[in-house]
């Protein structure tokens, strides 16, 4: 079934930065770091959806290799930005004054409170958990750096044969042999099997959504707490077909929304 572009209402909120995020508030800088990480993780997720839902299937091994490498890049980038969000949140949570401010200010519904519990558990409490075993090595070894020691070790475990794609137009090629090394590295961090890797990426996507809920709840709480003058204006934005298709598929997986709570 052909999916049409989808229209959504977006509200622009305009405020004085010094009022909402004063330098004297222990929440301000950690919150800015979390907002920056959220912008980047959301962009990564949109790019993944565009790559997977935006066009036709690969028609040959060259196109399949390019798509595989591009998706692998986006997964690594998502993990890198998510680890940066984890570091910002852990720094906030481990500082008692900032943690108290977060609990005091954040406006969270039940889903938001569950998101906060998930983020605290995975980003702070589990010292040998998801961050240490997956996010951190993917960020350090395969997303943001090209360490000599990492690629030296990877070369020892390389396949017997490798491939590169040589294009007729500069800029369209890809070194598939490197994608093979990177894929082996992130797979090893995940637990060695494709199923392990898929499970780790599902957790990463879940955490990206959870930290977004927490950040939105903090911003809403700060606006309410200080009674700022905030100007509002609604816009209608059009979601391209790929994003609309991804949203619809996610909604089908979640199932029907629960009925609203009785206000009485």
pLDDT for residue 258 is more than 60: no
pLDDT at position 198 is 94
Q: Of all residues in the chain, what percent are helix, strand and coil, respectively (each to 5)?
A: 65, 10, 25
How far is the C-alpha of 260 from the C-alpha of 49, rounded, in Å?
A: 30
CA 256 to the chain's CA centroid: 25
- CB-based contact 244:3 (threshold 8 Å): yes
CA distances from 238 to 74, 126, 235 (A): 23, 40, 10
Tokens (6 digits) for 66 = 């390019």
Q: Name residues whose C-beta falls within 8 Å of residue 261's C-beta, 6 or more positions apart in sequence.
A: none
* Local confidence band at 120 (pLDDT 50, 70, 90 cut-offs): very high
124 neighbors 94 (Cβ within 8 angstroms): yes
What was the pLDDT predicted at 216?
A: 95
Burial class (CB in 10 A: 0-12, 13-18, 19+), 89: buried
Report the predicted TM-score, pTM, of the whole model to 2 decimal places: 0.86
Question: By the 8 A CB rule, do 116 and 108 touch?
Answer: yes
- The mean pLDDT value of the chain amounts to 88
Which helix H or strand E contains 10, and what residues bound it? strand 6-14
Q: Which phi and psi (to 5°) does residue 144 adopt? A: -110, -5
Measured N-to-C along each axis, helices 110-120 and 194-226 cross at an angle, to the nearest 10 degrees, of 120
Structure-model confidence comparison of residues 56 and 145, the more confident one: 145
pLDDT at 58: 87
**pLDDT (tens digit, 9 = 90+) per residue, 200-220?**
999 999 999 999 999 999 999
Burial class of 207 by CB neighbour count within 10 A (0 to 12, 13 to 18, 19+): buried
Average pLDDT of span 6-20: 88
């Amino acid at each position: 079934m052909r999916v049409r572009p989808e229209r959504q209402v977006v509200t622009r909120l305009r405020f004085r930065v010094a009022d909402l995020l004063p330098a004297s508030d222990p929440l301000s800088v950690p919150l800015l770091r979390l907002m920056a990480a959220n912008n980047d993780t959301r962009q990564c997720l949109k790019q993944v959806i565009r790559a997977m839902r935006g066009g036709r299937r690969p028609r040959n091994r060259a196109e399949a290799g390019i798509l595989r490498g591009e998706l692998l890049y986006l997964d690594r980038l998502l993990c890198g930005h998510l680890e940066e969000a984890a570091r910002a949140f852990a720094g906030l949570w481990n500082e008692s004054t900032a943690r108290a401010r977060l609990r005091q200010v954040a406006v969270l519904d039940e889903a938001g409170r569950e998101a906060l519990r998930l983020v605290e558990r995975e980003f702070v409490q589990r010292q040998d958990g998801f961050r240490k075993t997956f996010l951190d090595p993917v960020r350090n070894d395969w997303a943001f750096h090209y360490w000599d020691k990492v690629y030296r070790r990877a070369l020892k475990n390389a396949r017997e044969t490798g491939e590169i794609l040589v294009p007729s137009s500069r800029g369209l090629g890809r070194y598939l042999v490197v994608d093979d090394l990177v894929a082996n590295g992130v797979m090893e961090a995940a637990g060695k099997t494709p199923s392990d890797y898929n499970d780790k990426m599902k957790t990463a996507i879940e955490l990206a959504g959870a930290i977004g809920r927490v950040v939105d709840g903090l911003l809403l709480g700060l606006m309410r707490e200080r009674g700022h003058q905030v100007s509002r204006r609604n816009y209608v934005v059009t979601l391209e077909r790929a994003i609309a298709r991804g949203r619809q598929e996610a909604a089908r997986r979640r199932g029907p929304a629960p009925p609203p709570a009785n206000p009485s």
